[in-house]
Amino acid sequence: MRTLLVPMTDPKGQDSVLKVAFSLVRTFSAHLTCLFIRPDPRAAIPFMGEGLTADAIQDLVDASDREGKARAARTYAVFEETRKKQDIPLGDGLGPEKTATVAWEESTGFIADRVGRAARLADLTVVPQPIDPNSEDSADLLNEVLFRSGRPLLLAPPNPSETIGSTILVAWNGRAECARTVAAALPFLHRAERIFLLTVGEEHPDRPSLEGLNLYLARQGISADILHRESDDKSVGETIRDTAETLGADLLVMGAFSHSRWREMIIGGVTRHAIHHAKIPVFMSH
């Protein structure tokens, strides 16, 4: 795991994300790009109405541009303060020795689109949790990274623990999304002190079993404990969350499930629960 990405979307919500990302950069001696996207003021011109004069439109564009630059400056200040505290140097990750480096980049355009493109060339993208269900930008960003980048995502909770990936819970149901996520999470699994493999309810007879997953990991030199849980009167998402808390897990690995409706991705119930309610970092892939 050599390249990480953090979309710098809001200076108020970046502390926990940066804490998690800098911790991972140090753990893996990786490179982190913190990407700030300024909305293009000209993109709003078609929606400003026919009643505005050219001068009025230009004034609005200029005001939007000034606000974008001011927000970038505030966000950069948070980034730089955290970087200095973490004592990680600026760089491009191309040095002869594998050392942790970080870089700040700015771009202009639609946030979700720009971040989605950048995520395709990152081993992992770290975003804040919970995702604001009322924010269109948050929903679009999650959709682009999780379902269209082809790369894994890590959700950073508001109050992350000091360790990430020491005790890992893998939620398994045998679907392709789970298999892809486990494969992407191998760098974490190889470093973990304890790993628990969890299935909730009855296993599907036509999908790879939990025992099969355990054997696959054993061939990778990874040992794990197997857990079977019934959901009883809880949802599957609640059962996974409660099991993680009971075990003291500091990382949850699970597939991201969705239903496609035309071009819109509708997030499945278990995935939605993890996105909004997980108390530990969640490693996801679709």
Q: How far apart are the first and last CA of the chain?
A: 18
Looking from the CA of 270 toward its CB, the CA atoms found within 13 Å total 23
The residues that bridge with 265 in the sheet, in sequence order, are 260
For 28-51, the pLDDT digits (tens) are 999 999 999 887 766 655 555 566
pLDDT of the residue at 187: 97
Cα separation, 268 vs 173, whole angstroms: 14
The token pair that represents 108 in the structure block: 């202009």
The structural domains of the chain, ordered by start, are 3-156 (3.40.50.620), 167-285 (3.40.50.620)
Residue 96 tokens, joined: 């002869």
Q: Tell me how far apart the alpha carbons of residues 278 and 147 are, in angstroms, rounded to a whole number.
A: 19
pTM, two decimal places: 0.87
**pLDDT tens sequence across 253-271:** 998 765 444 334 444 556 6
Q: How far apart are CA 67 and CA 250, in angstroms?
A: 38
pLDDT band at 105 (very low <50, low <70, confident <90, very high): very high
Confirm if 3 and 28 have CB atoms less than 8 A apart.
no
- pLDDT at residue 286 tops 80: no
CA angle 138, 264, 6 (to 5 degrees): 30
